[in-house]
Amino acid sequence: MLAEESLTSAFDAIKANLLRSILTALAIIIGTAAVIALVSIGGSAQKAIENSISDMGSQVLSVVPGQKEKNGVKSAFIPLKLGDVRALENEKNISWKIAPEMRGNKQVKYISENANLPIVGTTSDYFSIYGIEVNQGNVFTENDLINGKKVAIIGSDVAKELGTNKKDLLFKNIVIGDSSYRVIGIAEPKGSGGWDNPDERIFVPVITASERIFGRIWINMIVVKSAGEFSLPQVMIAIERILRRTHDISPGEDNDFRVYDWSEVKQLQKETTNILTTMIAGIASISLLVGGIGVMNIMLVSVTERTREIGLRKALGATQQDILIQFIVEAILLCIIGGLIGVVLGSAIYFSIASYQEWPIVMPLSAIIGSVTFSALVGLFFGIWPARRAAKLDPAVALLYE
């Protein structure tokens, strides 16, 4: 029989039992929808990470605390301190910008509105390293920084979190923890590139953060941006040399801190996301396989129900192969239709989540092609057995079947 004929007759058969067909395809629909939604969300995450990393600029290095390792035993994390920042700043042979980052969340209040927001204790160089524009008010003065004044520069979304207008907050006092801080500047929006919103941060002088807000001297990170006269590896070596000296590490011992080049981190992130995506796809394909078993079950029922029809078709000249193809095409078509519905459903779920979360949108083309192809293969695999049963029916017996 012609291929086009088997397709129309398969469509007819699916239509004739529409509700049952949809229920059968449900597992395929859910499986495909899960693949599409999860893989796209993974893609979005990847994209968000890439965006936020490229926001930092490629010349930015970060120094984070590490562990000491002695005779294979790892110690606790060795904190980075403000002294480390000063040691780097004292290096006059390299022109670089250095800023500490002391970070933590605090309850912030304005009039009667409350919000839990990230507080970043740092210096004015932080803004130029990350290209954050403070376009209303000013950055910290030398006096603010040295004396740990109670001043704050707020991200562009902080006002909204505190239930007011941006302009209202400039030169007003907000309460961080339990004392009050004067807003001296408002940063331009950076836009959300990832999971947390950089525009919700509140910046204070690092001394202020250390002494008044967090009451600690260790910092979370030191960010370094080289002016470009030295290559990144050279700058990394310089950082290591200086910090090893201040940390009193003797030659041959490992570093107790880590220096990150963000382009490496990006690579690592990509790999992690890929592994995650593969795992998700694997789990979802199990659902597709389960769907395949459902399809096989229904195809077997359908073969039994249509025994007389099969007998008749054979009496009219259908070969075993004709019958085989008819039922396989039906199973594959059922799975492809399920797959396509799943793609639409999964994309809808993804788009609504992504737009709600303001994630960057990625079109998961390979996931779409992959999952529909996989559905078709599931149909082929699980359709063969019922189809063979149909093809092998004895026409003389099948015709008499009641």
What residue ranges bind another protein (CB under 8 A)? 1-2, 5, 12, 16, 308-309, 312-322, 394-396, 399-400
Q: Do strands 113-122 and 173-176 pair parallel, antiparallel, or not at all (unpaired)?
A: unpaired
Distance in Å, CB of 13 to another protein, minimum: 8
Q: Which residues of 386-395 are buried (b: 16+ CB within 10 A; e: fewer)?
A: bbebbbebeb
**Is there a contact between 226 and 91 (Cβ–Cβ < 8 Å)?**
no
CB atoms within 10 A of CB 131: 13
Q: Let me know: does 284 contact 370? Beta carbons within 8 Å.
A: no
What does DSSP assign to residue 316? T
Q: How far is the CB of 384 from another protein (least distance, A)?
A: 18
- Helix, strand or coil, per DSSP, at residue 147: helix
Task: Judge contact between 96 and 60, C-beta under 8 A.
Answer: no
For residue 270, the minimal CB distance to another protein (Å) is 53
Distance CA 267, CA 244 (A): 27
Cα distance between residue 157 and residue 214, in whole Å: 23
Cβ atoms of residues 102 and 206 within 8 Å: yes
Q: Which distant-in-sequence residues (6+ apart) come within 8 Å of 63 by Cβ?
A: 80, 84, 221, 222, 223, 224, 239, 243, 257, 258, 259, 260
**Residue 66 near residue 77 (C-beta atoms within 8 A):** yes
Handedness of CA 253, 259, 264, 270 (dihedral sign): positive
Structure tokens that stand for 315 in this block = 């009496």
Token representation of residue 206? 């690092």
Q: Is 321 exposed, middle or buried (0-12, 13-18, 19+ CB in 10 A)?
A: exposed
Instruction: Choose between 1 and 249: whose C-beta lies nearer to another protein.
Output: 1
Q: Give me the least distance between CB of 341 and another protein, in Å please.
A: 23
Nearer to another protein, 268 or 396 (CB): 396
Nearer to another protein, 15 or 92 (CB): 15
User: 57: alpha, beta or left, given left = phi > 0 and alpha = psi -120 to 50?
Assistant: left
- Cβ distance to another protein smaller for residue 114 or 320: 320
Q: Of 14 and 299, which CB lies nearer to another protein in the complex structure?
A: 14
CB of 320 to another protein, least distance (A): 6
Give whichever of 313 and 389 is closer to another protein, judged by the CB atom. Answer: 313
Q: How far is the CB of 1 from another protein (least distance, A)?
A: 5
Among residues 4 and 248, whose Cβ is nearest to another protein? Answer: 4
1 or 64: CB nearest another protein: 1
Shortest CB 385 distance to another protein, Å:
19
Is the Cβ of residue 139 or residue 323 nearer to another protein in the bound state? Answer: 323
- Provide the pairing of β-strand 218-219 with 80-81: antiparallel
Closer to another protein by Cβ: residue 290 or 399: 399
Q: How far is the CB of 353 from another protein (least distance, A)?
A: 41
| CB 322 to another protein: min, Å | 6
CB of 10 to another protein, least distance (A): 13
Residue type, 362: V
CB 230 within 8 A of CB 238: yes
